Amino acid sequence: AQSVAQPEDQVNVAEGNPLTVKCTYSVSGNPYLFWYVQYPNRGLQFLLKYITGDNLVKGSYGFEAEFNKSQTSFHLKKPSALVSDSALYFCAANPYNTDKLIFGTGTRLQVFP
Amino acid sequence: KAGVTQTPRYLIKTRGQQVTLSCSPISGHRSVSWYQQTPGQGLQFLFEYFSETQRNKGNFPGRFSGRQFSNSRSEMNVSTLELGDSALYLCASIGTEMNTEAFFGQGTRLTVV
């Protein structure tokens, strides 16, 4: 079965420090990869995507993600965390020729002042 | 342009009842997908509609059904509600451009009592 894994339920980081939220995928072919963020009682907001090309993609709010095909990973990063980045982050894969998204279980990011 | 609109935002229903949720995608978007979000199961794909046709269906019982109208608006229906159907139901729409991301509505919070 195709799946996306986010191994950490929660990531804690101090404001101003770099952050990484991990994601690996097991999806056949060359899926499109996405990161979404969810704030309490809200829908999902798009952060960034990898389709093809450069392995480092930049997105909204200073976030970036590094794609590694050999490790089938797509880790979310930010050089300097803000308290306002505290939220639930989802990694998702979009198999070829479908609009269906396969989501990871989510990682709660907590940024402490 | 207006985002994805889901109505109602909140619903409380009794076991055994049925419920209909509505989603209006972004104008011009071709595809509508539905997801169920629960604390235990995370984000699970329900179904995907494109041009009034169901293209993909997730692993949910037949009590869950949906449809898409000619104006791309979509509805999902859950019959014979169970307590376990309590969840946040999210709708996503995808545009006609290649390699585009899904845009999510704020969701409908369904509580079954």
pLDDT digits (tens, 9 = 90+) for A81-113: 999 999 999 999 998 778 889 999 999 999 999
Would you place residue A29 in the very low, low, confident or very high pLDDT band (cuts 50, 70, 90)? Answer: confident
Contact between chains at A43 and B4 (C-beta distance less than 8 A): yes
Would you place residue B1 in the very low, low, confident or very high pLDDT band (cuts 50, 70, 90)? Answer: low
B49: pLDDT strictly greater than 90: yes
Which residue among B31, B56, B101 places its CB closest to the CB of A34? Answer: B101
What is the phi/psi pair of residue A84, to 5°?
-70, -10
- Helix and strand numbers (H, E) in chain A are 0, 12
Between the alpha carbon of residue A75 and those of residues A50, B32, B33, B80, the distances in Å are 11, 27, 25, 41
Q: What is the pLDDT of residue B99?
A: 65
Work out the minimum CA distance from A107 to partner chain B, whole angstroms.
Answer: 11
A15: pLDDT strictly greater than 90: yes
Q: What is the pLDDT of residue A26?
A: 95
B33 close to A (CB below 8 A): yes
Find the closest chain B residue to A52 by CA distance.
Answer: B99
Which residue among B42, B56, B107 places its CB closest to the CB of A103? Answer: B42
B47: pLDDT strictly greater than 90: yes
Amino acid identity of residue A98, one-letter, is T
With CA atoms as reference, report the closest residue to B91 among B25, B40, B27: B25
Place of tokens 């309590």: B86
Q: What is the pLDDT of residue B89?
A: 97
Between the alpha carbon of residue A45 and those of residues A91, B83, B103, the distances in Å are 12, 28, 7
Mean pLDDT of chain A: 94
Q: What is the pLDDT of residue A99?
A: 83
Q: What is the pLDDT of residue A87?
A: 96
Q: What is the pLDDT of residue B67?
A: 97
Which residue among A90, A100, A104 places its CB closest to the CB of B56? Answer: A100
**DSSP type of residue B100:** P
Strand ordering across the sheet containing B74-78: B5-7, B19-24, B74-78, B64-68
Would you place residue A61 in the very low, low, confident or very high pLDDT band (cuts 50, 70, 90)? Answer: very high
The residue among B17 and B39 whose pLDDT is bigger is B17
- Taking the C-alpha atoms of residue B92 and residue B64, their distance in angstroms, rounded to an integer, is 17
- B chain contacts of residue A99, beta-carbon cutoff 8 Å: 31, 33, 48, 50, 55-56, 94, 102
What is the phi/psi pair of residue A93, to 5°?
-120, 140
With CA atoms as reference, report the closest residue to B44 among A83, A92, A48, A27: A92
Place of tokens 């946040």: B88
Q: What is the pLDDT of residue B64?
A: 98
Mean pLDDT of chain B: 93
Would you place residue A1 in the very low, low, confident or very high pLDDT band (cuts 50, 70, 90)? Answer: confident
